[in-house]
Amino acid sequence: MVENVLEVKDLTMHYTTRKGPVFAVDDVNFHVARGESVGLVGESGCGKTSIAISLLKLLPDNADIKKGQILLNGTDLIPLAEAEVRKYRWRRISMVFQAAMNAMNPVYTVEEQILEAMQQHLPDMSDAEMDEKVDALFRLVGLDPSFKDQYPHQYSGGMRQRAVIAMALSCDPDIILADEPTTALDVIVQDALLKRIRKIQGELNMAMIYISHDIAVIAEVSDRVGVMYAGRMAEMASTEAIFHYPIHPYTMGLMSAFPSIVGEKTALVTLPGEPPDLLNPPPGCRFNPRCPYATDICKEETPPFKDHENGHFAACWHPGGEK
Amino acid sequence: MTVQEDVLVNIEHLSKLFPVGAGVFSRSDTYVHAVSDLNLKIMSGESVGLVGESGCGKTTTGKLLTRLLDPTEGKIELNTYEGVVDIASLRGKNLKKFRQMVQMIFQDPYESMNPRLTIYDTIAEPMDVQGIGSITDREERVAELLETVGLAPAASFMFRYPHELSGGQRQRVAIARALVIAPIFVVADEPTSMLDVSVRTGVMNLMRELADRLSVTYLYITHDLAVARYMCDRIAVMYLGKIVEWAETEELLHHPQHPYTRALLSAVPVPDPTFEREPVEIKGGISKPVNPLPLCRFYERCPRADDFCKNNDHPPLEDKGAAHFVACYKV
């Protein structure tokens, strides 16, 4: 049995708004094993970032975890009080955000910010050890340690994102959540960073959840991929299975809607309609209004998220389009 | 798509310099060379992609072509029904007339529309400004265009406001607005980059279909080579204000010659986990062309650069055969 660093069971999170509850995350199940990289992909509003902030319990006031378990090394984070969660956050589970400029404090040097995280969470470490560690982290993410006493605004976008990754790695977490870390970067800088992230993740044998809207980026960094749609996990399988043998009609649609610069130039197929409003999601399978294979059952009952073959999970009444 | 042989837009030695740090009372002697000595011919009926990283000058070029910015130097000739005009020198009435022939589609469908105008008013505004048609004509034309861009039935969209529409629908409205006065040339600046994949494809397919049906010529500005491949007949790659390579789409993708294009192509992630990309040869990010030295703009990052590149001016864009233009001494 593979050791799971993180297990998410039946996670359901709603936002309360003036117009009523938004069903942002609904009955989501997945796990991440040690040393494994899991990609979460989906369109805006599909719940991928809501999952990330639920895992860290960094919820805004109007968000509520309705049910489920978040097991980090076997400990459920959901019932824990904020003071308890703090012991886990950053130390066991850390996060890299999309907007690196906003994730750093402009009035402290990059070194001071990394040290602050370590002083908070690693009280037993001596100052000399910490200095050494900062240098090691800089080299790990591909930054020259001589830049460490500069301020965030003196860094380029790619360097800043590397610094944020160094910060997230500073307390040797068991799992790191990366939410669109390369989205704001140009392709050449993005390519270098993706390669670096993948290398670090392998070297440290660290578990990672990589969130992105870009399926091409997800293909580069993930061992397994979860495809989300309208707050639910639609399909989850090995990266190769997701890209070569998708069985959920939404995943199948995504694959034929995404242009590529390699291979034959093919006509892209449009998914009809738009993602649903999560204030008022359609009953049954949330993809049913756009699905070419939908039948009556799809409009009435939510399909279970189950294993169809060797760990290839999907929530669909007609996997692969079968009748 | 059939490419007619006549040139619709002919850009020669186009430059746009922005002063850095100039105030009301002080002139500046430092300039960002956002677009510098750019030459490009766009044929009637074709879609041309202008591709590059942020800060390469692609948006500035788009704004110059639509005269939202005045060029510092150079000319932009547009082949209209009434003969060739130089866009760069248009004034007053002639400029207004030009606006009827050239339109722009912007990136952000949330920012590019007046929230107080209904969809009908938004789309009819160009006709109003240009004084085209009676009220009934305009209503008919707007209804026709709404159906054309896939917002049917038109009556259910006409009197709604932008905030009632989704991003994809708004971008369709923006396309309808650009096409309502039947322009001959449309500059589209990242029209799909804010849209989600499942919605984006629909908008891309619509733009392609309309290009064929209404024989509109597009300049499609994008940072995404995969999108450019899907949308464009030819692609021009820009780097720091210069076009470094320029060829038919498939030719450019399969036989890239400029070291920058090669790096760009091998850095694009591929949605296939089993595909092995070639390693990217260049390092670092793009800088700003502030008072650039008179040598190849790509010199500092180029893996092939040598003393010849250092001691000569920026290389000219030369035809290397099969209408494949490259600006590099080492090709």
Flag if B273 and A274 touch (Cβ within 8 Å): no
Is position A184 within any domain?
yes
What is the total count of domains within chain B?
Answer: 1
What is the total count of domains within chain A?
Answer: 2
Q: Are residues A76 and A198 in the same domain?
A: yes
**CA A155 to CA A148: how far, in whole Å?**
10
Judge whether residue B143 has pLDDT over 90.
yes
Region A296-319: what's the mean pLDDT?
A: 95
Judge whether residue B24 has pLDDT over 80.
no
**Across the strands, what pairs with A31?**
A7
Q: Are residues A250 and A139 in the same domain?
A: no
Is position B1 within any domain?
no
What backbone phi and psi angles, to 5 degrees, belong to A64? -135, 125
Percentage with pLDDT > 70 across chain A: 98
DSSP classification of residue B290: B
Contact partners, residue B193, CB within 8 Å, separation at least 6: B107, B222, B223, B224, B227
Question: Residue B288: pLDDT band by 50, 70, 90 thresholds?
Answer: confident
**CA B208 to CA B210: how far, in whole Å?**
5
Q: Are residues A208 and A153 in the same domain?
A: no
Is position B331 within any domain?
no
Chain B residue with the nearest C-alpha to that of A251:
B198
Flag if B268 and A44 touch (Cβ within 8 Å): no
| Torsion, Cα of B82, B87, B90, B92 (10° steps) | 80
Q: Which among B114, B109, B69 is positioned nearest to B88, based on CA atoms?
A: B69
> What is the domain extent for residue B72?
7-270+277-326
Q: Are residues A136 and A212 in the same domain?
A: no
Q: What integer pLDDT is reported at residue B78 of this predicted model?
A: 93
Region A7-23: what's the mean pLDDT?
A: 94
Percentage with pLDDT > 90 across chain A: 79
What's the gap in Å between the CA of A190 and the closest CA on chain B? 8
Chain A residue with the nearest C-alpha to that of B224:
A187
B58 contact residues in A (CB cutoff 8 A): none
**CA B245 to CA B327: how far, in whole Å?**
6
Contact B76, B11 (CB under 8 A): yes
Interface test with B, best of A44, A156, A160, A188 (most B CBs within 10 A): A188
> pLDDT digit string (tens) for B99-138?
999 999 998 888 899 999 999 999 999 999 999 989 999 9
Question: Residue B4: pLDDT band by 50, 70, 90 thresholds?
Answer: very low
Q: Which among B229, B252, B232 is positioned nearest to B186, based on CA atoms?
A: B232
**Amino acid making up residue A172:** D
When CB atoms are compared, the residue of A156, A188, A253 closest to B280 is: A188
Chain A residue with the nearest C-alpha to that of B225:
A261
When CB atoms are compared, the residue of A43, A253, A262 closest to B270 is: A262
* Tokens found for residue B206: 């619509």
Is position B175 within any domain?
yes
Inter-chain Cβ pairs, chain A and chain B, closer than 8 A: 120
Is position B216 within any domain?
yes
Residue B292: helix, strand or coil by DSSP? coil
**CA B149 to CA A295: how far, in whole Å?**
29
Contact B314, B239 (CB under 8 A): no
Percentage with pLDDT > 90 across chain B: 68
A229 contact residues in B (CB cutoff 8 A): none
**CA B238 to CA B217: how far, in whole Å?**
20
> What is the domain extent for residue A256?
4-92+174-321
Q: Which among B140, B31, B254 is positioned nearest to A265, based on CA atoms?
A: B254
Q: What integer pLDDT is reported at residue B2 of this predicted model?
A: 40
What's the gap in Å between the CA of A255 and the closest CA on chain B? 8
Region A27-37: what's the mean pLDDT?
A: 95
> pLDDT digit string (tens) for A139-181?
999 999 999 999 998 888 888 899 999 999 999 999 999 999 9
Q: What integer pLDDT is reported at residue A1 of this predicted model?
A: 52
A197 contact residues in B (CB cutoff 8 A): none
Per-residue burial over B50-69, b if 16 or more Cβ lie within 10 Å, else e, is bbbbebbbbbbbbbbbbbeb
Q: Which among B111, B122, B129, B195 is positioned nearest to B160, based on CA atoms?
A: B122
Q: What is the pTM of this model?
A: 0.90
Residue A313: helix, strand or coil by DSSP? strand
Is position B159 within any domain?
yes
Percentage with pLDDT > 70 across chain B: 97
Judge whether residue B189 has pLDDT over 50.
yes
Q: Are residues A212 and A301 in the same domain?
A: yes
Flag if A188 and B275 touch (Cβ within 8 Å): no
Taking the CA atoms of A22, A24, A29 and A33 in sequence, report the sign of the dihedral they define: negative
Strand order in the sheet with B325-326: B102-105, B185-189, B217-222, B47-51, B234-239, B242-248, B325-326, B318-319
B270 contact residues in A (CB cutoff 8 A): 216, 219-220, 260-262
B223 contact residues in A (CB cutoff 8 A): 186-187
B205 contact residues in A (CB cutoff 8 A): 268, 270
Judged by average pLDDT, the poorest of A211-215, B18-22, B44-48, B297-301 is: B18-22
Q: What integer pLDDT is reported at residue B3 of this predicted model?
A: 40
Q: Are residues A158 and A294 in the same domain?
A: no
Is position A81 within any domain?
yes
Flag if A186 and B53 touch (Cβ within 8 Å): yes
Q: What integer pLDDT is reported at residue B91 of this predicted model?
A: 87
Q: Are residues A156 and A66 in the same domain?
A: no
Region B58-75: what's the mean pLDDT?
A: 94
Q: What integer pLDDT is reported at residue A176 of this predicted model?
A: 95
Judge whether residue A218 has pLDDT over 50.
yes
**CA A25 to CA A14: how far, in whole Å?**
7
**Amino acid making up residue B95:** L
> pLDDT digit string (tens) for A76-135?
999 999 999 998 998 999 999 877 667 888 899 999 999 998 998 888 999 999 999 999
Judge whether residue B301 has pLDDT over 80.
yes
B200 contact residues in A (CB cutoff 8 A): 257
